[in-house]
Amino acid sequence: MTVSLEQLQRCHVAVDLGAARTRVYVKGLGLVVDEPSVAAVNTRTGSLIAVGALAEQMTGRTPEYIRVARPVSGGTVVDIEMAQRMLRHLLGDKLRRQLRRKPRLRAAACTPHDADPLAQRATVETLVGLGARRVELVDTLIAGAVGCGLPVEQPTATMIMVCGAATTQIAVLSLGSIVTAVRIPVGGNAIDEAVIQHLRQRHALILPSQSVRPLQLALHGNGLQLTGPALADIHGRDVATGLARTVQVDTAAVRQAINTPLTAMLDGVGKVLRDCPPDLVADLAERGVMMVGGTALLPGLDQMLRDATGMPVHIAERPDVCSVLGLGAMLDGKIQPMVLNPLAG
């Protein structure tokens, strides 16, 4: 961990700027914001029309003078000004006034593993623009491990898989630090896109952008497991005529279509295990893998990982908010480092 727990305990607010959702934890109040990372802007006046869930509902349904922006991509802030405006509106006037009363407001934020200096700087500038005097950055892998209750400070191996919307991050942790890790540019969005492309090419069907999780609609029931229904009805728009149409989709073909992004995720697990010291791999055989992140809820993904690795696979109790809850636990002082007493001479 690059930042000490003592420094984190001085922070007042923790922020997880994700590609799909933005979450804010305030010391003493808990999780106060959990909204989609979306903002709708009037391009004529520059004014902000909506943020969060309301802005997400506008996607694909706006006139030409309204632009729906996503200021965060792959866990990295790509539009600092828009991210600041979005955060201000998500926090609300009352909460912002409470935070401004802090004499030296400190903030903590999650950053993806191996984030480059420019990405880290963008996160820092976003929070500095909201009034933070100091910003501490914590690796998403460590924050997620703390949030789901893994004993990260102990000298035993724990493996975590953060399944996000844009990226998948996998790591083995021991003694509060990352032993080996990998970040793959494949996540829930890539899986959804594979389903969308399959339906377009095989059935000449365009899914509306607001179809809630097209993958879940297509895979219906038991998802990746072969015991699910053989056929699923999907509603969309015909490519040629533009008219609404319903087609019956073979779920086995859909499973085949999403095989490429899922294989990339499994390859990442294999790479981490190959780079891990043998003693820690022995620990993992007993403890297994903990899955966090919104994509971890994909039906059947845990069983697929279990079959590929032969290790136990667990899904966190609240996988989508583990990272910000982990930061919050550090802010509240609930995590204590392991004390190593020097040997007496």
Binding-site residues for ATP: 165-167
Are the CB atoms for 340 and 176 separated by under 8 Å? no
Query: Using CA atoms, how far apart are residues 268 and 168, in angstroms rounded to an integer?
Result: 9
DSSP string, 46-59: --EEEETHHHHHTT
Q: Nearest 10 degrees: CA dihedral of 244, 247, 253, 254?
A: 40
Residue 203 is encoded by which pair of tokens? 């059935």
Residue 176 is encoded by which pair of tokens? 């509060």
How far is CA 337 from each of CA 14, 154, 175, 176, 180, rounded to the nearest angstrom?
20, 9, 9, 8, 20
Provide the annotated binding site. 165-167
Are the CB atoms for 214 and 195 separated by under 8 Å? yes
Q: Which residue has the tokens 């728009």?
A: 237
Are the CB atoms for 15 and 122 separated by under 8 Å? no
Radius of gyration for the chain, computed over Cα atoms and rounded to the nearest angstrom: 21
Strand-pair category, 106-111 with 13-17: parallel
Is residue 178 within a helix (H) or strand (E), and if so which, with residue range?
strand 177-184
